[in-house]
Amino acid sequence: MQGGFASEHDALIAEKVAHILTGGDRLAGSKVTEQDILDLEREAFVSLIAMEKTQARIQQMLMTGKPLRN
């Protein structure tokens, strides 16, 4: 991978963050509560933490203090 480009896993994480920030699968103009956002965050975290690439990133950060680009 060359610098300056997002990996497939980076793109997946970005998609999940965008999903959270836009309130999920709601109609435009719908009210989104704080609890709705928290639920979306939890859903994204649980799905990401089950992935080997996410676990490797967390382990790398904890062990070296540097991010892993995978």
Question: Is residue 65 in some structural domain?
Answer: yes
* Residue numbers of the domain that contains 43: 1-20+32-70
pTM for the structure as a whole: 0.85
CA of 25: how far to CAs of 12, 17, 41, 68, in Å? 17, 13, 13, 30
Tally Cβ neighbours within 10 Å of residue 57: 19
- Nearest-10 crossing angle of helices 8-21, 52-64: 100
> Can you give the pLDDT at residue 3?
66
**How many independent structural domains does the chain possess?**
1
For 17-64, write each residue's pLDDT tens digit.
999 999 999 998 999 999 999 999 999 999 999 999 999 999 999 999
Question: Is residue 41 in some structural domain?
Answer: yes
Amino acid (one-letter) located at 43: E
Question: Is residue 50 in some structural domain?
Answer: yes
Question: Is residue 26 in some structural domain?
Answer: no
Amino acid (one-letter) located at 57: R
> Can you give the pLDDT at residue 5?
86
Question: Is residue 53 in some structural domain?
Answer: yes
Gyration radius from the chain CA atoms: 15
